[in-house]
Structure 1
């Protein structure tokens, strides 16, 4: 196999750490030190004149802070440099309009994380079918769940290696996110059929060929009942707390239990999304989705004092349902997974895809008789069927119409570009 048939692929893999109480305490200290370093950098940035806000001056300020504040020495020097790079990248993202301006990181609302820039420091070894071991600077040798083959030991080289990692703490404990770089064979163009996808709330994913993918409840009945009891308990304890009084440890523990159940539901939802998108990417060569502006769809209907909104509670419930389905994350998964298997993903305009008849193409008011039934009001058509499949067929039809509008020579160029693009993108 020649070098032209190979390509570099970079991806991330997250694994759960099994830390001893002593190692967990060290990791917590590094997480708080990294957050403090960020806040010190932010204060330094706001204090310095514009002409002195340089990377060299910030690096000198970090080194001086590590000498003056003993608490910051628990953070490795490379991790402190990573905080500096991340902070400057945050400002760059703000200047280019990709994100909001960096801000102060509070203790309770910030996710604790520590970066490990050098992958060679990890020294990863697989010791068991289910467990691997890695070296965390200033923490020690720790175990992590081995759920994916990683470049470790004799399988690690210049092209197949781990370039770095990041420690992240959530409600379920500490995790490690590896940054992996591999050299793999370029996939052949996927010869599977084209498919349109309509994403909804009642039916999460409906395909144009009549297939649907649905998930059950993220929490079972016992877990739901326990979540309700914990929320009621938290409300009662919060009600009896005096204004200005600090939150008690009991209330903090109740909040942690609620967050644990919600994190469990989110983890199950993420697992379902991964499995579903993998099946779709393996089956179909071209996947077409709607170009949805989700941030506008989940805006509140509360309105203003002068012009109050209507059906605010109903719209709030719909917004929660849309956010729980995470349509944007589904599209992101389909984008890189279709490219991995040699396919491609395309987006088409979303307006009227749910109200247009996929048989005759007419958009008539009142065609969507219910959430699940579509009946065309055109006298010459009268087609009826599943509303979600009808929308998915319209999505696929819009993609094919866009190809039909391109001249024959241009379509050939588009087809060649579609074959090269997945390899170049990775």
Structure 2
């Protein structure tokens, strides 16, 4: 399986090399397909990859260019050996022959590998209950620090969900409170987002024993790396230490993703309308280092905040909420993000100095004086913007504000 993954990565790099060297007027999928066939005939280690999997690499590469041309992604590039996730696609479900052995394990056929045992984590349409509307159409093998994993693609026929009759809620994604809800039912994973000295805790999803082990491994890796000379091959002991560090960090990432899945599922089941901010996350996590002529300020503090934002994975949370609300009959809306954390949710005015810190909001308006959690205040503002008709509608690649006739912009309550 490792050999197939390396062959798939090499096929991608060869395709990219061929595509960039060929003049634009002569580029075609047919020529690239013929080049792949000829390379698999001439190079033995490329032939380890099944022909169908090689065709998927070509389709994925062409899709990457289409995403670039349509403005959804950057141009594809070469895949490095140590920074690319190893993966292999199995596009045809009939080659898998999935069979359940007992409650916890199943067997699957991998082309050019053989029968492999895998952990049975959810129901699959095996031969007994498979039909044209409920069947396995393919699979994808992915390797991370914890080993190989298989994800099955399933085609199933489901009835349209009934409209959700739940209430409306605004959600503010934050650092101190991961998900602050407008009704006060905040979702917290119970782990401090930042250390007492203000820096981000990278391993907050690990227990104390695992954190101590990770610290010991990092110190061990630093000591062994001091004997490593530039240009030499990494020693086996140092590589084993790196592998143990990767496994611990992969465990933390898996726990964070599991919490996100469980929390977003509960929210999609409980609420019929979920409103979030339209955040430009890549712009929020830009470095504050600046340039030599114009250096930045508070660079270390901004770096810690950027790490905390990246660890909370706000974009992935919104993606999960989008398809889970649709699955349960609800809807998800986005509203403009400016001033949601600065405006008072009680009086509606923006008064300088009201935002005390990351967790406290005290309205400085003499006629108001409302105080509370800053994230809760922002969540209430988000819901109010939706009710005032300021939801964003994607049109022609941009977001426009939908405001009912006769309704003025939200300034005061």
More helix by percentage: 1
* 1-structure distance, mates of 2:121, 2:231: 46
1:151 aligned partner: 125
1:85 aligned partner: 59
* 2-structure distance, mates of 1:391, 1:46: 48
What is the TM-score with the length of structure 1 in the denominator? 0.87
Per-residue deviation, 1:133: 1.6
The alignment status of 1:336 with 2:334, answered yes or no, reads: no
What is the TM-score with the length of structure 2 in the denominator? 0.90
Per-residue deviation, 1:238: 2.2
1:186 aligned partner: 160
Per-residue deviation, 1:175: 0.7
The alignment status of 1:406 with 2:404, answered yes or no, reads: yes
**Could you say what secondary structure the match of 1:72 adopts?**
coil
The one of 180, 184, 187 equivalent to 1:210 is 184
The alignment status of 1:392 with 2:390, answered yes or no, reads: no
Structure 2 unaligned runs (5+)? 192-203, 391-401, 407-413
Per-residue deviation, 1:158: 0.8
The one of 60, 70, 90 equivalent to 2:44 is 70
The alignment status of 1:289 with 2:287, answered yes or no, reads: no
Q: Deviations over 1:222-262 (max 9, x none)?
A: 11111112112222222332222222222211111111111
Per-residue deviation, 1:392: 0.6
1:350 aligned partner: 337
**Could you say what secondary structure the match of 1:232 adopts?**
helix
1:226 aligned partner: 213
* Higher normalized contact order (CA 8 Å, seq sep 6+, divided by chain length): 1
**Could you say what secondary structure the match of 1:74 adopts?**
coil
**Could you say what secondary structure the match of 2:324 adopts?**
helix
* 2-structure distance, mates of 1:50, 1:150: 44
1:377 aligned partner: 364
**Could you say what secondary structure the match of 1:290 adopts?**
strand
1:16 aligned partner: none
The one of 174, 178, 186 equivalent to 2:148 is 174
* 1-structure distance, mates of 2:361, 2:376: 9
* 2-structure distance, mates of 1:121, 1:242: 47
| Alignment map for 1:237-256 (pairs within 5 Å) | 237-256=224-243
The alignment status of 1:302 with 2:276, answered yes or no, reads: no
* 2-structure distance, mates of 1:171, 1:178: 20
* 1-structure distance, mates of 2:101, 2:10: 35
Structure 1 unaligned runs (5+)? 1-26, 409-426
**Could you say what secondary structure the match of 1:141 adopts?**
strand
| Alignment map for 1:17-166 (pairs within 5 Å) | 27-166=1-140
Per-residue deviation, 1:402: 0.8
* 2-structure distance, mates of 1:385, 1:70: 67
**Could you say what secondary structure the match of 2:247 adopts?**
helix
* 1-structure distance, mates of 2:262, 2:362: 33
C-alpha RMSD of matched pairs (Å): 1.5
**Could you say what secondary structure the match of 1:212 adopts?**
coil
**Could you say what secondary structure the match of 2:381 adopts?**
helix
2:197 aligned partner: none
**Could you say what secondary structure the match of 1:319 adopts?**
helix
2:266 aligned partner: 279
Q: Deviations over 1:20-47 (max 9, x none)?
A: xxxxxxx111111111111221222223
* 2-structure distance, mates of 1:328, 1:320: 14
**Could you say what secondary structure the match of 2:107 adopts?**
strand
**Could you say what secondary structure the match of 1:155 adopts?**
coil
* 2-structure distance, mates of 1:382, 1:350: 23
**Could you say what secondary structure the match of 2:150 adopts?**
strand
Alignment length, in residue pairs? 382
Per-residue deviation, 1:407: 4.9
* 2-structure distance, mates of 1:236, 1:223: 20
* 2-structure distance, mates of 1:56, 1:304: 47
Per-residue deviation, 1:52: 2.5
